[in-house]
Chains A and B, each alone.
Chain A
Amino acid sequence: MTRHYSALSLFKEGLAGQKGWQQAWRSPQPKPRYDILIIGGGGHGLATAYYLAKVHNIRNVAVIEKGWLGGGNTGRNTTVVRSNYFFPESTALYEMALKLYEGLGRDLNYNIMLSQRGIITLAHSEAEMEMAARTVNAMQINGTDAELFGIEDVRRVLPLLDMSPDARYPVFGGVWQGRAGTARHDAVAWGYARAADRLGVDIIQSCEVEEFLIEGGRCRGVKTSRGEIRAERVGMVIAGHSSHLAAKAGFRLPITSYALQACVSEPIKPALDTVVLSPATGTYASQSDKGELVVGGGLDRVPSYGQRGNLPMLETVISGLLEMFPSFRQLRLMRQWAGIVDVTPDSSPILGESPLPGLFLNCGWGTGGFKAIPAGGTLLANLLATGKHHDVSRPFDLDRFARGRLIDEAAGSGIAH
């Protein structure tokens, strides 16, 4: 039975007709009681379970997922990882994640296909160029890698970009982060799931959390479609659906749910070997290892739980892309989809204990939480294990909305939230 992935095991299984591979994770029956329960089997939930077991040695843990692993936003995103944020609090958070991503394949013994091909955030006017310089300064001061690109640098990394004098979106330069790139999103979820399972975590799919068990003013567990499960502490990591369960726990969150769309073209030969983001057109794109262009943009403007998206935003995104890259006009779109993302007033996540004692939150990642999965997992695991904040998660507590200390990344991160 082969459970470890290596060149040798691949070779051996090749000779044995690939028949010896074992299931990557078990499908256990839920137990009536766990030390810690995680609601939501996306990247953040699975990472939380893994770090609870690995770092804190708490192994009597279950992850409850209403659908299938990574079937939420983790399996729907455009796979971009980066840490080019503006505020020190944000850089600390996303840089923690990027550093963990850099060692994650080895840590999990699972190829997450991290490809640090760099990201260029384009500036389309003198004024945007000044903001780009300000962003680069902030990033360097906060201790992450950043470079201010001029026109020639942009031409070098984006040879197909329309930089002619009459281009609809003239280019003045941009912000470059060379350590940014992409990672295979499903592999991140599956890698964490496999590694957590090996440490004894129960991963329970097709099990929906419906209510909370509240006794003595504390959260004592959950009521699921497969019965009651009790736990000392509960982590809620359900991205766009947090408000729905929060209402059942008796509180409201500073969150609005929106559909965020993406699409892919037919596969073509290598044509774009970096991630390109244009805040002015509201478009970003990269080329997948299969050769498809993976294209995304801003949120739909209508709050929604309809996981399909609407046409106006798709039109904006595609027309922005085609104005910048006229040669992509010939391509056919293969697929379009949407995920429900949870947007906070300051476009920063929420990490901390909820108003219901014993229930902890990891949510509010909005359009950008894939890149943060290793950090979100580390920090929620720390909260669940110790009941206390890590220095990096403290500023992201829910109390910032009452204290007025918002971390307003809507403009800082260079993306239309």
Chain B
Amino acid sequence: MQLFPCPFCGPRSETEFHFGGDAGNHRPEGFRDVTDGEWTAYLHERNNLRGAANEIWMHMTCGEVFRMERDTVHHGIARSFALTEGDGDDRLAH
């Protein structure tokens, strides 16, 4: 079993966390101007990176949502941030 670092609670069991998708997948703005392609990309398309990934996670026990840099092959965790912290660059990998 793996420990994930919640920026608020510290290291906790992976079973307490819920995957929330790619970091930087922002809801398209502009109502009618948003094309089918943009909606499809937002709703369904995923980076699904093999290796270093930048993801949103929820710690279900405290209810906080945060960002985590993780390797999807060896499962090593580089860093985790509160959404208000870090370098401000959410590294959109669209």
A interface residue numbers (CB < 8 A to B): 241, 243-244, 247, 252-257, 301-306, 310-312, 345, 401-402
Contacts and interface: CB of A to CB of B under 8 A. Distances in A.
B46 interface: yes
A252 B41 contact: yes
Secondary structure call for the A interface: mixed
Interface in B37-71: 37, 39-41, 43-51, 53, 55
Interface of B: 1-2, 13-15, 17-19, 36-37, 39-41, 43-51, 53, 55, 72-75, 94
B2 to A, nearest CB: 7
A312 B72 contact: no
Given A310-B2, A402-B36, A402-B37, A252 B47 contact: yes
A244 B44 contact: no
A364 to B, nearest CB: 11
Given A302-B19, A312-B14, A243 B75 contact: no
Contacts of B14: 301-302, 310, 312
Contacts of A254: 40, 44-46
A-B residue pairs, 6 tightest by C-beta: A243-B48, A254-B44, A252-B45, A402-B40, A401-B44, A305-B50
Contacts of A257: 48, 50, 72
Contacts of B40: 254, 401-402
Contacts of B19: 301-303
B72 A256 contact: no
Contact of B47 (A243, A305, A401): A243
A312 B44 contact: no
14 contacts: A241-B50, A252-B45, A256-B46, A257-B72, A301-B14, A301-B15, A302-B19, A304-B72, A305-B51, A305-B73, A306-B75, A401-B43, A401-B45, A402-B36
A391 B17 CA distance: 41
Contact of B46 (A255, A311, A312): A255
Contacts of A402: 36-37, 39-40
A378 to B, nearest CB: 26
A311 B50 contact: no
Contacts of A305: 50-51, 72-73
A301 to B, nearest CB: 7
A247 B19 CA distance: 22
B36 to A, nearest CB: 5
Contacts of A255: 46, 48
A199 to B, nearest CB: 34
Given A304-B75, A305-B72, A401-B40, A253 B1 contact: no
A252 B93 CA distance: 10
A241 B48 CA distance: 9
Contacts of A256: 46, 48
Contacts of A312: 1, 13-15
Contacts of B73: 304-306
- Indicate the member of B17, B43, B44, B49 with the most A CB atoms within 10 Å: B44
A303 B1 contact: no
A349 B57 CA distance: 26
Nearest to B14: A302
Given A252-B46, A302-B2, A303-B19, 16 more contacts: A244-B48, A252-B94, A253-B48, A254-B45, A254-B46, A255-B48, A257-B50, A257-B72, A304-B72, A305-B50, A305-B72, A306-B72, A306-B75, A312-B15, A345-B43, A401-B44
A303 B46 CA distance: 11
Nearest to B1: A311
Contacts of B74: 306
Contacts of A306: 72-75
B89 to A, nearest CB: 20
A243 B50 CA distance: 8
Given A306-B72, A312-B14, A402-B36, A345 B44 contact: yes
A256 B56 CA distance: 14
Contacts of A304: 72-73, 75
A39 B51 CA distance: 21
A133 to B, nearest CB: 32
